[in-house]
């Protein structure tokens, strides 16, 4: 396992244009937010592979990692632990007029690894974060998790007919 970094000074590798370097390190994506819920990264940091290349006037970087995201299942509120794979690239050519070639995560020789890992992971989040793909959710009547019960047996008596209550009052 490599050392952990929030940001990296790319100048210290003293790469010449055309040269590259592969780095194995730990990135800190921080907390994630989805649908008003907070999700944490198991272990805080994730082992990350960075492929760094020096271009004529800047850098090209590829970042890859797999993160385990923990938080409440969106259907049953139980524990969800989802492995998300990130494979992202950034190019920074400070002299270019093209905004696509100006990475928001690279400022001069400084790579904002934590910010990039956070945003890339947010983009990788599924719209529905579930404890399992076929999560059955909660019973609309009593709120029990339908994953834990036999759904064929889990039934509720229908509301008593109000007419019967009336009859009982009369009796």
**Using the rule CB under 5 A, which residue among 3, 142, 152, 170 binds Zn ion?**
142
Q: Which residues, numbered 112-131, are part of the site for Zn ion (CB under 5 A)?
A: 131
Place of tokens 């409440």: 72
Q: How far is the CB of 146 from Zn ion (least distance, A)?
A: 8
Q: Give every strand in the sheet of 110-111, ordered side by side.
A: 8-9, 110-111, 106-107
Verify binding: residue 106, Zn ion, rule CB under 5 A: no
Residue 71 β-bridge partners: 80
Q: How far is the CB of 152 from Zn ion (least distance, A)?
A: 13
Q: How far is the CB of 85 from Zn ion (least distance, A)?
A: 21
| 40 φ/ψ angles, rounded to the nearest 5 degrees | -110, 160
CB 41 within 8 A of CB 69: yes
Verify binding: residue 141, Zn ion, rule CB under 5 A: yes
User: Whole-angstrom Cα distance, residue 72 to residue 81?
Assistant: 9
Q: Which residues, numbered 50-79, are part of the site for Zn ion (CB under 5 A)?
A: 73, 75-76, 78
Verify binding: residue 139, Zn ion, rule CB under 5 A: yes
Among residues 18 and 133, whose Cβ is nearest to Zn ion?
133
Verify binding: residue 146, Zn ion, rule CB under 5 A: no
CA separation, residue 89 to residues 149, 155, 161, 164 (Å): 45, 51, 63, 69
Q: Which stretch binds Zn ion (CB under 5 A): 50-58, 61-69, 110-118, 141-149?
A: 141-149
Q: How far is the CB of 30 from Zn ion (least distance, A)?
A: 24
CA separation, residue 29 to residues 22, 132, 167, 168 (Å): 20, 23, 64, 63
Residue 24 β-bridge partners: 49
Give the binding site for Zn ion (CB under 5 A). 73, 75-76, 78, 131, 135, 139, 141-142, 144
């Amino acid at each position: 396992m490599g050392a952990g970094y929030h940001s990296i000074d790319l100048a210290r590798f003293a790469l010449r244009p055309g040269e590259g370097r592969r780095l194995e390190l730990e990135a800190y994506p921080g907390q994630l937010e989805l649908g008003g819920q907070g999700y944490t990264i198991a272990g805080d940091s994730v082992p990350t592979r960075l492929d760094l290349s020096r271009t004529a006037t800047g850098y090209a970087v590829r970042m890859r990692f797999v993160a385990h995201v923990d938080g409440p299942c969106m259907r049953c509120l139980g524990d969800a632990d989802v492995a998300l794979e990130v494979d992202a690239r950034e190019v920074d050519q400070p002299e270019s007029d093209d905004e696509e070639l100006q990475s928001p995560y690279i400022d001069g020789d400084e790579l904002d690894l934590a910010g990039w890992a956070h945003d890339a992971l947010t983009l990788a989040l599924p719209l529905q974060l579930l404890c399992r793909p076929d999560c059955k959710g909660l019973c609309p009547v009593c709120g029990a998790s339908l994953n834990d019960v036999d759904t064929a047996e889990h039934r509720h008596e229908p509301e008593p007919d109000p007419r019967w209550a009336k009859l009982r009052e009369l009796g």
